[in-house]
Structure 1
């Protein structure tokens, strides 16, 4: 199963965030509640099959997919230790911590042509994805712009029911809109 990392992406939305001051408004804990949507695109015509004995997949040699992806949705709770470093009237913030999540949905989507007609196939299944996950996060930012990196320490799939994959997300966030 080969992932197209250049075409895979994710977005996180954290509607609830709370900061707790620990020391002098410069060190604190950040927590909250958020949703994370990930789209994992495959390099070739991989078809995932939901099988209770384990994730199985096969290479479809009949259809040529123009889109082939797995989408996951998780409800996340971060716990981040953050430092605020004054720089003039603003501040640089640096943080590191953990993120836990519970899966609330997953599906595959395949788009292909059949006799000149565009066909779309969505399959809402579990695919033996881990129901719970945990990982680490680091972020650094100035004003309302942050760079971040998240790495799962738990495998994407349940033990012995799929490939052992540990997703990583790197990107930027905008805070205070």
Structure 2
């Protein structure tokens, strides 16, 4: 996780560098210097008999609004769950288990997204925009029942030999979202509107973390037959200072065995 955050920080610094304009390259070759939104014009003194310093005039230049705006380090705080449509009859992946054994603790099954950046490209009068970005999607599924994922091969079993105080499956993705944004109040910083689109994610880390009365804290790292790629339908609702988000995967997060389609929803902390 730390390596991914460092990578995202490096990418954001790279884009920040691209956004800056070097105004010193031809400073000595011209009497006109541009610094940000200012224009400085140097003029030689006309009085040849007196030694005077060069005159300088500064003008403020109004720059046109850029078609692209950037928002750095956006955080989503929400809840994670899934729609379970698994046929448990004769299922060798989870023998003897049923849908109730995979129920989650709603308040403790959480989703946290950290977006290194999001950009908004103006398509039409700042009302219709294209939004895209890059970040990590962190999902924690907290089970109520004492179920455990065994590996080689992957199989879920009911473990009633221990007392579980914590039992969660974590699935983390590097994700790229792309949305069409409709902004009904383009002249307001915190406006009203919505966005719809899709996101593609790559599974870079998955693990089951348990805390029991006999073994204490344990962590098993494995893919557990989770799909390496995740395609989701995503949406965002802007209500002034309050922003909500949601996502629904296009298919089960498992390649085989379980048919569980994940979805997330929550609050988005963003400057837009």
The structure 2 residue matched to 1:166, chosen from 234, 239, 261, is 261
Cα distance in 2 between the residues matched to 1:5 and 1:85 = 37
* 1:14 counterpart = 2:120: no
Once the two structures are superposed, residues 95-124 of structure 1 have per-residue CA deviations (whole angstroms, 9 ceiling, x without a partner) of 10001100000111110112xxx7111011
CA RMSD across the alignment: 1.8
Residue in 2 that maps onto 1:51: 152
Normalised by the length of structure 1, the TM-score is 0.90
* Higher relative strand content: 1
Gaps of 5+ in 1: none
Normalised by the length of structure 2, the TM-score is 0.59
The structure 2 residue matched to 1:71, chosen from 170, 174, 198, is 170
Cα distance in 2 between the residues matched to 1:144 and 1:36 = 23
Alignment partner of 1:25: what SS? coil
Contact 1:50 1:128 in 2 (8 A): no
Gaps of 5+ in 2: 1-100
The structure 2 residue matched to 1:124, chosen from 221, 231, 236, is 221
* Higher relative helix content: 2
- In the TM superposition, what is the alpha-carbon distance from 1:36 to its structure 2 partner? 0.6
The structure 2 residue matched to 1:30, chosen from 114, 128, 131, is 131
- In the TM superposition, what is the alpha-carbon distance from 1:144 to its structure 2 partner? 4.2
Once the two structures are superposed, residues 121-140 of structure 1 have per-residue CA deviations (whole angstroms, 9 ceiling, x without a partner) of 10111111100010101111
Aligned residues: 170
Structure 1 residue runs of 4+, over 2 Å off?
87-90, 142-145
**1:71-110 equivalences in 2 (<5 Å):** 71-86=170-185, 89=188, 90-110=190-210
